[in-house]
Structure formats: C-alpha cells, structure tokens
Amino acid sequence: MTAPILLAEPSLVVAPALLGATIAGRGVTVRITEVEAYMGDADPGSHAFRGLRTRNAHLFGPPGTLYAYRSYGIHTCLNVVSGAAGVPSGSLLRAGEVVDGVGVARARRGATVADRMLARGPGNLGQALGALLADDGSSLLDGSGPYVLTLDPGLEARLASASPDTVLQELRSERLADGSPRIASGPRTGIRGVAGGAGFPWRFRLTGDPTVSAYRRHPQALD
DNA sequence: CTTTCGATATTCT
DNA sequence: GAATATCGAAAGC
C-alpha cells in the first residue's frame, strides 16, 4: 500500500493536518483534537535528539508507522511517524474525542470518567484505545497492526493538486466565526527548558474543543 | 478554575 | 542516582 501524500512530510506539517483525522482499533475510534510535533535531531525535545536508541528506533521508520513509548513508567503514548524512512519525525497524539466505542473506552478508563475526558491527555488517549507497548512499530495504514489512521479525504485531494506548504498555510489561516484561528498553536507541555518554551510552539489543537487537554506547566519549567 | 505532590519503570549520566 | 513528551487526587481559590 502507498502511504498517503501527507505522511511524506515532516511532523511540523503533518501534526496540524492530523487534527480531525481518526485512529480506530480495539473497539474504539478517536477523532484527534490535539497533537505535538517532534522533529528529531534538530529538536532538543525529541526522543531522537541524541540519535538512534533501542526505545526510539521506530521513530526512524517509514511514514505511517506507530511509535509507542512508556511515559513516566506508567502510560503508553502514541506517535504517528512521518517523513522519509531514516529521518526521525513524529506527531504525538495528545487528545481526542471518542466517536465510537464509548462503552469500551469507559471500561478501560473508569466508570465515572466524563465523555470528554476519556481520551484527554496522551496517557489517557493511549489507555482509551487499549494501546500496548508491544504495538510500537506497527503499521497505521495497511491493517496489519491494531490501529488504522484515517485522514480527512478532502485533504488528500488538495495535496494532490497543491504543495504541502500551501495546503498547510491554508489550513492554518482558517478562521472561526469569531475570527479566532481554527487551529491554535502554543508551547509543548511537560518539557523542561528551552525545548518546551516559546521557541517551539509546536502543540496544535482545535480551538475551543472540549476534549483538548489542560495546559500544565512543568514544575521546573524555565521561562 | 488553580497549584502541588506522589506513583511508577525505563533510559540516561 | 536523576530525569522523564503524565495523571489523579487534594486543597485553595
């Protein structure tokens, strides 16, 4: 199977374009509402900043690979790998709306969890989907892995007739009725030092979506 | 709404 | 040993 045109691009292009896409598997479908871009060797916040390691090997994989890692010893977080094979580029799925399989997701997350909280935050999103560390390296495209990523079909059509940078610019210039940008960006959460600050405003979310995670400043973050 | 703090296991120094 | 792409509970607005 040929990878979608979009996934040939680095995560700085892919991440905002993933908003509104769905990831489906293990009985749950999530519509993505918040992501972060990680750019590899030029990005001090990336797991690949210090080169190829056992943990991050699949970040260097072909576009459409799932990169799953253990966070704080507890959570399983998911990235969509994009760009050319050998170039580490990932988009961290930070939050989404459970649009199918709400009962399954709630059974995993807890009976008292509100709908909009089921996949709010990267650890919670992984748990709602039933993600395992063993899913690291599986395909998000051909059905051979536990999850399938479905992009906006109209987006692929636009990429066939315009450059990715042009389409990205158009996406990010869209405005809501009140004039605010449909796609908002800001600093990445949970990262210490400069890589989490204003120099890397690589967190993207759908403006006003109730499933977008709360911004938490790192306890030791430097401004 | 906000801030603070402990839990947890793998990676890196 | 220390740090970490986090979470939920608790306590104070």
**A35 pLDDT higher than 70:** yes
Give yes or no for a contact between A99 and A22, defined as CB atoms under 8 angstroms apart.
yes
| Dihedral (Cα; A55, A61, A64, A69), 10-degree rounding | 0
In angstroms, the CA of A213 and the C1' of C11 are apart by 22
* Banded pLDDT at A2 (limits 50, 70, 90): confident
CA atoms within 13 A on the CB side of A21: 26
In this complex, the answer to whether residue A74 has its CB under 7 A from any atom of chain C, a nucleic strand, is yes
In angstroms, the CA of A145 and the C1' of B2 are apart by 41
Query: Tokens 């908003």 belong to which residue?
Result: A19
In angstroms, the CA of A81 and the C1' of C3 are apart by 25
Q: What is the pLDDT of residues A51-88, one digit of tens each?
A: 999 999 999 999 999 999 999 999 999 999 999 999 99
Q: What is the pLDDT of residues A112-135, one digit of tens each?
A: 999 999 999 999 999 999 999 999
Which residue gives the smallest C-alpha to C1' distance to B4?
A219
Determine the pLDDT at residue A221.
Answer: 40
In one letter, which amino acid is A217? R
In whole angstroms, what is the distance from residue A151 CA to residue A6 CA?
Answer: 9
Determine the pLDDT at residue A220.
Answer: 45
Q: Which of strand B's nucleotides are less than 7 A from any protein C-beta? A: 2-5, 7-13
* Banded pLDDT at A216 (limits 50, 70, 90): low
In this complex, the answer to whether residue A22 has its CB under 7 A from any atom of chain C, a nucleic strand, is no
Q: What is the pLDDT of residues A60-69, one digit of tens each?
A: 999 999 999 9
Query: Which nucleotide has the shortest C1'-to-CA distance from A54?
Result: B11
β-strand A183-186 against A203-206: which pairing, if any? antiparallel
Determine the pLDDT at residue A108.
Answer: 97
Q: Determine which of A32-41, A91-100, A197-206 has the lowest per-residue pLDDT on average.
A: A197-206
- CB < 7 A from strand B, the residues are A 50, 53-56, 70, 72-74, 214, 216-217, 219
Which residue gives the smallest C-alpha to C1' distance to C4?
A72
Torsion angles phi and psi, residue A110, rounded to 5 = 125, 140
Percent of chain A with pLDDT over 70: 95
